[in-house]
Amino acid sequence: MNHPACIYGPPEMLFKRKKAAEQERKHIEVVAAIICQDHCVLATQRGYGKWRGWWEFPGGKVQEGESREQALVRELKEEMDAAIHIDRYHSTVDYDYPDFHLTMHCYLCHLIDGHYRLNEHLDARWLTANTITTLQWLPADRELVETLAKEIDF
């Protein structure tokens, strides 16, 4: 019979262990593009990993030495062969996944020439205020989606 692991000791020691574990937790910083066109926003469906099939705003990790804006332009070029113009910063989302803490910086953008090609995603959809909440969004994106559903009138 398997029993869950138990840790014994005085409360001070347990508190220190918990704090140390929290500090060791992996932190990932990413950028996301809220691509707007004709009162719609573009959502992409992940094509890889644990969250394959879930919906997200396109973007990715910020690499050492690059600004958030540079990272966003690079990621959209790599993932979607898309040239974007960053209109303005929108918000930052912090979310605790079981394995890591995510900080996602979100920017309102538009496609420069209106074209993109999916290199890493399964699908993409233009969504309105009425349809944006109908998809299975990644947990970190859900709060942003709720906000955008009230704001879409770009």
Residue 18 is which amino acid?
Answer: K
Average pLDDT, the chain: 90
* N-terminal to C-terminal alpha carbon distance within the chain: 58
**103-148 pLDDT, tens digit each:** 999 999 999 999 999 999 999 999 999 999 999 999 999 989 999 9
Residue 89 has pLDDT above 80, yes or no: yes
Do 85 and 110 touch, CB atoms closer than 8 A?
A: yes
Residue type, 145: V
Q: Tell me which residue of 17, 45, 37, 6 sits closest to 113, measured CA to CA.
A: 37
pTM (2 d.p.) = 0.83
Both tokens assigned to 132: 């944006």
CB 87 within 8 A of CB 138: no
Q: Under a CB-based contact definition with an 8 Å cutoff, are residues 83 and 77 in contact?
A: yes
CA angle 32, 69, 77 (to 5 degrees): 70
For 30, other C-beta atoms within 10 Å of its C-beta total 21
- Does 8 score more than 80 pLDDT? no
Q: How many residues are listed for the chain in this entry?
A: 154
Residue 151 has pLDDT above 70, yes or no: yes
d(CA 146, CA 150): 7
**Which tokens belong to 48?**
């890889």
pLDDT of residue 2: 52
